[in-house]
Amino acid sequence: MLLGYTLVLELMLVAAILYWPNFRDHLGAVKLLSKPLPVLGDIISKVESIGVAAYVVGQHFFKGCNVLGAAAAALIGAAAVAGEAQRGTLEIWLARPVTRLRLASERFLSGQSVIWLGIFLTTLTIPLLLSQVDESMRLDRLLLCATHQCLFLGAIFSVTFLISCASSEPTRISMGVLFFTIFEFGIYLVKTVTHWSIYRLADIEVYHKVLVSGALDWSIAGPLLGVNVLGFWGGYAFLQRRCP
């Protein structure tokens, strides 16, 4: 799972960065094309004014990680405990002399680590890829953006994990979360309802702030971290009462 997810993210990143010179040269035409979609127009304007940094965070974090990472978070989170129930292995999983806190922690952290590792490993390659198109970005700032992205996707994973701890139907959970995230990504692109989308918490504007300030925006990262923690403890509370 980790390998596939990381590989696809990296391939998307390589394609996006190698395409940058072409994209930059045709920004005017792209801007014209995006006129019917004001939100897309705003994104193009940001790329035009900020440059490669906005393009990279838009391609890698806002598009690649937000879409692919959300799918990974939904699939991994849904299978965490409900997957055991569905395949009938919940009882042997719980019956060993291991505390439920430890079982919950292991499942939670292993799921989070798949998401985090994929994002960090691919982010580490950005400076090298940018050097191929004669551009550069500070790695420390990029890693801060990656941390914010992980907190955002971690929050999606944590909520999915919580539901998984109380359910026996991983397919329904993952489909539900996937539908929700696609819906949220969809409404992000509609100007009048953009503010209702969770993707406002991980868009180009947020990442640009992180890149410029060199610090996480805790007004967003804090609540995301809170959702991560609450998701884990909520899931653990359900798991504690869970019968095989």
Partner 1 sequence: MPSITNISSSGLSRSFGSTRALHPIDLDVQAGITGLLGPNGSGKSTFMRCLVGLVRPDSGTAVVAGVDLEGDGVAIRQRVTYAPGELALYGELRASEHLDFLLRGRNHQALDRSRELAKALGLPLHKKVRGYSHGMKRQLVFAAAMAPDVSVRILDEPTEGLDPTKRAQVLEMMADDAQDGRTILLSSHHLGEVDAVCENLAFLDGGRLVSVENAKQVAERTSRIVRLWWTAGVPADACQVLSAAGEERVRNLEDHLLVHLSSSDPRPFLKRLADAPLPAPSAVEHGRISLALLYREIYGVDGI
Q: Which residues bind partner 1 (CB under 8 A)?
A: 87-89, 91-92, 94-101, 240-241, 243-244
Q: Which is nearer to partner 1, 96 or 195 (CB)?
A: 96
Q: Which is nearer to partner 1, 136 or 240 (CB)?
A: 240
State the minimum distance, in angstroms, from the CB of residue 3 to partner 1: 17
* CB 61, CB 43: distance < 8 Å: no
State the minimum distance, in angstroms, from the CB of residue 232 to partner 1: 16
Q: Which two tokens stand for residue 202?
A: 């991980």
H-only helix segments in the chain: 2-25, 27-33, 38-50, 52-56, 70-79, 82-87, 90-94, 100-124, 126-131, 139-166, 170-188, 204-213, 218-240
Q: Which is nearer to partner 1, 23 or 93 (CB)?
A: 93
Q: Which is nearer to partner 1, 108 or 199 (CB)?
A: 108
State the minimum distance, in angstroms, from the CB of residue 239 to partner 1: 9
Contacts of 130 (CB under 8 A, 6+ apart): 17, 52, 56, 136, 137
Q: Which two tokens stand for residue 133?
A: 């198109």
State the minimum distance, in angstroms, from the CB of residue 237 to partner 1: 12
State how far the alpha carbon of 45 is from the alpha carbons of 31, 38, 65, 121, in Å: 7, 10, 21, 29
State the minimum distance, in angstroms, from the CB of residue 8 to partner 1: 23
Q: Which is nearer to partner 1, 102 or 195 (CB)?
A: 102
* CB 242, CB 168: distance < 8 Å: no
